[in-house]
Amino acid sequence: MNNAHKAIQLCSCNGTVEIDIRRLGDALALDAADLPVLHAATQLCGRDAAAFSAALGGAADAIVGCTQEAALLREVADEAGATAGLTFINLRDIGGRSPRGSDATPSVAAQLAMARMAEPAPVPAVSYASSGQLLIIGPAGAALGWAQEAQRRYGDSIAVSVLVTGRDGSELPVRRDWPVMTGRDVTVSGWLGAFDVSWARANAIDLDACVRCNACIDACPEGAIGYDYQVDAARCTGHRACVKACADIGAIDFAAVGSPRSERYDLVLDLSEPALIRIPHPPQGYAAPGRDPL
Ligand code: SF4
Ligand code: SF4
């Protein structure tokens, strides 16, 4: 686009806007060769429409100093077969209907200068693809509550997994509607459709394998296992009666505590406080509402 020769069609709106062509030309640094691109009419939408139409014919682009009649002026341009790309500026509000009169010329010139600037290069397009794999990270009660709510709201369009990061006295439901894991030292990186989440296993009981039979709870003489199916390390004395009780299922493995794991998810709902990603503009597909309701 050659902005130096972009036509500028101004209109005094029946004499109510003061247009100073010479000062505008100076302000826009138009030299003698460029000055003809600047036209001032009194009624672009009326008696000057034919001249407007003719002027547009050869223009690659044009700036039109009227917004209230933009629709009509577009029609005039279309009928003239003008291929011009029209940019409308509100000359009447900038330069007229104000007590400033010709004092408004710098404002008009500034608007024209902005309109004459080249269009910025388009930013590169970014594509996201999500199949609805949602990971909810947080203390058991909150995370499981939101898992239920997310499933209720979005049904089969999402697949929920829960990463429990702390004990809050909540019991795990007997029904296993979603994969539930325990983790600490959680990290999240990525974006919508491609979040890489890694953590260290926090619990000897593999909640995904556990069938909630409660045999370990009954077997533990220290009462170290609760109905959240997590082992309280402070109470556990390590004699492994629970492991024996779970032998057929094989869901308890003390040696696995701390083992690293990582998975990829499309979406992350992070209930951690503080949030795991703390930047001004977190990635699409990541929400960290803290204590705020969603
Ligand atoms: S015995 Fe094993 S399967 Fe049963 S509740 Fe305990 S960990 Fe789960
Ligand atoms: S090792 Fe012993 S104390 Fe620890 S959870 Fe198992 S049964 Fe309870």
pLDDT tier, 36 (very low <50, low <70, confident <90, very high otherwise): low
pLDDT tier, 93 (very low <50, low <70, confident <90, very high otherwise): confident
Question: pTM for the full model?
Answer: 0.63
- Give the pLDDT confidence score for residue 97 in this predicted structure: 57
> Cα(233) to centroid of ligand 2, in Å?
9
Q: Give the position, in ligand 2's atom list, of the atom nearest the Cα of 235.
A: 3
- Contact between 22 and 31 under an 8 Å Cβ cutoff? The reply is no
CA distance 57 to 104: 30
Strand 133-138 and strand 267-270: pairing?
parallel
CA distance 203 to 164: 10
> Where are the domains positioned within the chain?
3-116, 133-287
pLDDT of residue 3 exceeding 50, the answer is no
- Give the pLDDT confidence score for residue 95 in this predicted structure: 64
pLDDT of residue 294 exceeding 80, the answer is no
User: Looking at 2-16, 47-61, 78-92, which range is the least confident one?
Assistant: 2-16
7 forms bridges with which residues in the sheet?
62
Q: Give the position, in ligand 2's atom list, of the atom nearest the Cα of 225.
A: 5
Strand 194-201 and strand 260-265: pairing?
antiparallel
Quote the mean pLDDT of the chain. Answer: 87
> Cα(225) to centroid of ligand 2, in Å?
7
Spatial neighbors of 122 by CB under 8 A, at least 6 apart, are: none
> Cα(257) to centroid of ligand 2, in Å?
14
- Give the pLDDT confidence score for residue 136 in this predicted structure: 97
- Here the tokens at position 53 are 């139409």
Q: Is the peptide bond before 283 cis (omega within 30 degrees of 0)?
A: no
Average pLDDT over residues 229-253: 95
User: Looking at 19-28, 133-142, 197-206, which range is the least confident one?
Assistant: 19-28
CA distance 131 to 37: 54
Q: Which helix (H) or strand (E) holds 88?
A: strand 85-88
Nearest CA to ligand 2 atom 3: 236
Nearest to 10 by CA among 112, 106, 100, 102: 112
> Cα(248) to centroid of ligand 2, in Å?
17
Within 6 A (CB) of ligand 1 lie 205, 210-216, 229, 245-246, 249, 251-252
CA distance 40 to 120: 28
Asked whether 120 lines ligand 2 (CB < 6 A), one says no
Which tens digit of pLDDT belongs to each residue from 162-185? 999 988 888 888 888 899 999 999
195 forms bridges with which residues in the sheet?
190, 265
- Contact between 94 and 108 under an 8 Å Cβ cutoff? The reply is yes
More confident residue, 36 or 136: 136
User: Looking at 4-8, 68-72, 92-96, 97-101, which range is the least confident one?
Assistant: 97-101
pLDDT tier, 2 (very low <50, low <70, confident <90, very high otherwise): very low
Q: Which helix (H) or strand (E) holds 201?
A: strand 194-201
Nearest to 53 by CA among 84, 88, 87: 84
Asked whether 237 lines ligand 2 (CB < 6 A), one says yes
Q: Give the position, in ligand 1's atom list, of the atom nearest the Cα of 211.
A: 3
Average pLDDT over residues 210-224: 96
Give the ligand at the shortest distance from the Cα of 211: 1
